[in-house]
Amino acid sequence: MLEQLLIIGGASIFGILGIIHLIYTFYGDKFYPYQEDVHTAMQSTNPKISKETTMWKAWLGFNASHSLGAILLAAIYLPLASYHMEIITAELWFNLLPVIFSLSFLVLAKLYWFKIPFFGIALAFLCFSAASLLINS
């Protein structure tokens, strides 16, 4: 089934990007600002919403939760497409959800991120969209 392979492909892309992003969040300095004074300021500044955290801790938490969202999509759709494709084909919601999710990430990637995640997410979006069209046609 082509639609099954497309969903597995799209979910795999999200899983790989999410895992890489999570690793980069906690290991290495890929998400550190180039200017050391910005990093220092983030470590010593609280957001207005609460003094219980710093901008740096919030930055790490946002990046980690963002990664976990991408990984969760993969963790749900890889086994679902591999072993229970009938659920995805029988319920409109289950074949539209990854299209909506990946489109949302694609918009964020275009507005706020850089080209590597944009192209990866664009490819996943195309996979999910093509699968949904095949399922619903």
Q: Which residue has the tokens 């850089």?
A: 114
Residue-wise pLDDT for 106-122, tens only, equals 999 999 999 999 999 99
Per-residue pLDDT, 95 = 94
pLDDT on residue 105 = 96
* Rounded Cα distance, 64 and 41, in Å: 20
Helices in the chain by DSSP H: which ranges?
2-26, 36-44, 55-83, 85-90, 92-112, 115-136
How do residues 55-109 score in pLDDT, each as one tens digit?
999 999 999 999 999 999 999 999 999 999 999 999 999 999 999 999 999 999 9
What is the domain partition of the chain in residue ranges?
Answer: 2-26+56-136
